[in-house]
Amino acid sequence: MRLTSLSVFGWRNLESTTIDCDAPLVVVHGNNGEGKSNLLEAVSVLSTLKSFREALVRRWMCHGTSQARVSGTALSPVGTREISWSWVDGKRRLLMDESNVYELTQWFEVLRAVVFCPEDGSIIRGGPDQRRRFMDRAAFNANPNHLKAVTEYQKILAHKRALLQTDWVDPLQLDAFNSALARAGAAVIYPRVCAVAALKHSFCSNHEAIAGTGIVDLSVKTNAFNVEDGLNQAEMESCLLKAIQEKQADEISRGVALIGPHRDEMSIEIDGKPARNFASQGQARSLVLGLRLAELEFAHSFGSVPLFLLDDLTSELDQGRRRRLISVLRTLKGQVWITTTDPKYLGELKGLDPLLLHVQAGRISAEK
């Protein structure tokens, strides 16, 4: 996947413009506060339909405006497409070749991205929900249909939670929800387990390549069965249902759903210890980069390589890790976007054929 052109209108402090970005490596540079991350954020919204910095869409737009648009030309496994994300009067609109897009899997077949940003430390330091989102993102990047499975599970879970909060829980209705939850839950857990198993070797090798030291490990923990037993999806469904039934009395008395993928965890270890508690700041950054690179390789095994977006490498990585990361980037097949205060911090870029985009006071200019 590659963006060959990008247009922005009404986006934060950026001047409305169209840029040619048909290059394997795009380096966005400039002083702090000039708009580098704003440009990368626009690429992120176009390729992931969300910002890696701010959830409120109205804050993505230029001050005083109610409309914004990010569009571009994308080369993808399904051909070249003109795509456009826009926000007009509080509503999102997605266009592909001038036709409305209502099915998100159609969009993500054309353009997806893996993003590394300063906030990613939460994958290591944060709660289990952060790591569950990572697992779902990895499974999604390999197969966009995973989004449907997660959405379906969340809907059923919401219904069950509402039922458990009532004064009297109808046992027949609860049985129906439990059966549906086990089926939908297995459809979420199985791709997660497959994704983490596929990521593990790549994660270990990429972490070693970037950090240069430290033995790491990755695994999935669920409260319904032992993942290491190698169950298929149907067997997972059966185990989930049994575990839910065994906890039914506790769920009713406490009014909460205790079993399911919403309670799963991804264990990340370094040198045999939980990374959440023992990884240093530098180690945490290397761990996240290893995970993100593993995501890319996993998606590539399914026939497509998402964009790789890296924000603020200057402050996030020391010189040694930056140098080793650039060596890893030379082996990637997809398009890479990087923001930095100065391209010199990235070291030798010879052979990567970079496009340099300078951002100053919101104005974007290409440099050769």
Q: Which of 10-19, 154-163, 197-206, 318-327 has the lowest mean pLDDT?
A: 318-327
Residue 258's closest CA among 247, 273, 249, 266?
A: 247
Look at the alpha carbons of 256, 260, 261, 267 in this order and tell me if their dihedral is positive or negative. Answer: positive
pLDDT of residue 368: 63
Query: How far apart, in Å, are the Cα atoms of 228 and each of 35, 111, 215, 294?
Result: 46, 34, 20, 21
**Would you say residue 137 lies in a domain?**
yes
Q: Which of 33-42, 50-59, 76-85 has the lowest mean pLDDT?
A: 50-59
Q: Report DSSP letters for 54-122, one per residue.
A: -S-GGGTBPTT-SEEEEEEEEEETTEEEEEEEEEETTEEEEEETTEE---HHHHHHH--EEEE-GGGGH
Instruction: Categorize the per-residue pLDDT at 316 as very low, low, confident or very high, splitting at 50, 70 and 90.
Output: low
**Would you say residue 122 lies in a domain?**
no
If asked whether residues 180 and 82 sit together in one domain, one would say: no
| Domain CATH number, residue 3 | 3.40.50.300
Q: Does 156 score more than 90 pLDDT?
A: yes
If asked whether residues 136 and 199 sit together in one domain, one would say: yes
Q: How many domains does the chain have?
A: 2
If asked whether residues 135 and 283 sit together in one domain, one would say: yes
pLDDT of residue 295: 86
If asked whether residues 45 and 169 sit together in one domain, one would say: no
Q: Does 108 score more than 70 pLDDT?
A: yes
Relative to beta strand 354-360, strand 25-29 is parallel
What is the reported pTM? 0.84
Which two three-digit tokens encode residue 220? 């999935």
Q: How far apart are CA 60 and CA 35, in angstroms?
A: 12
Residue 268's closest CA among 249, 247, 253, 283?
A: 283
Beta bridge partners of 93: 86
Last residue of a domain, one of 291, 322, 351: 291
Count how many residues are written for the chain.
368
pLDDT of residue 210: 84
Report the SS3 class of residue 366: strand
Q: How far apart are CA 152 and CA 330, in angstroms?
A: 39
Q: What is the mean pLDDT of the chain?
A: 90
If asked whether residues 162 and 276 sit together in one domain, one would say: yes
**Would you say residue 120 lies in a domain?**
no
Which two three-digit tokens encode residue 267? 């264990």
Range of the domain at 311: 1-112+304-368
Q: Does 173 score more than 70 pLDDT?
A: yes
Average pLDDT over every residue of 104-126 = 89
Last residue of a domain, one of 237, 264, 291: 291
**Would you say residue 299 lies in a domain?**
no
pLDDT of residue 37: 93
pLDDT of residue 286: 87
If asked whether residues 276 and 239 sit together in one domain, one would say: yes
Q: Does 237 score more than 90 pLDDT?
A: yes
Query: What pLDDT, in 10s, does the model give residues 192-206?
Result: 999 999 999 989 988
Q: Burial code of 161-184, b = ≥16 C-beta within 10 A, e = fewer?
A: eebbeeeebeeeebeebbbbbbbb
Q: How far apart are CA 188 and CA 262, in angstroms?
A: 10
Burial of 306 (0-12, 13-18, 19+ CB in 10 A): buried
Q: How far apart are CA 45 and CA 215, in angstroms?
A: 34
**Would you say residue 121 lies in a domain?**
no
pLDDT of residue 140: 87
Which single residue is written with the structure tokens 């060596």?
A: 327
Query: What pLDDT, in 10s, does the model give residues 133-153?
Result: 999 988 988 888 899 999 999
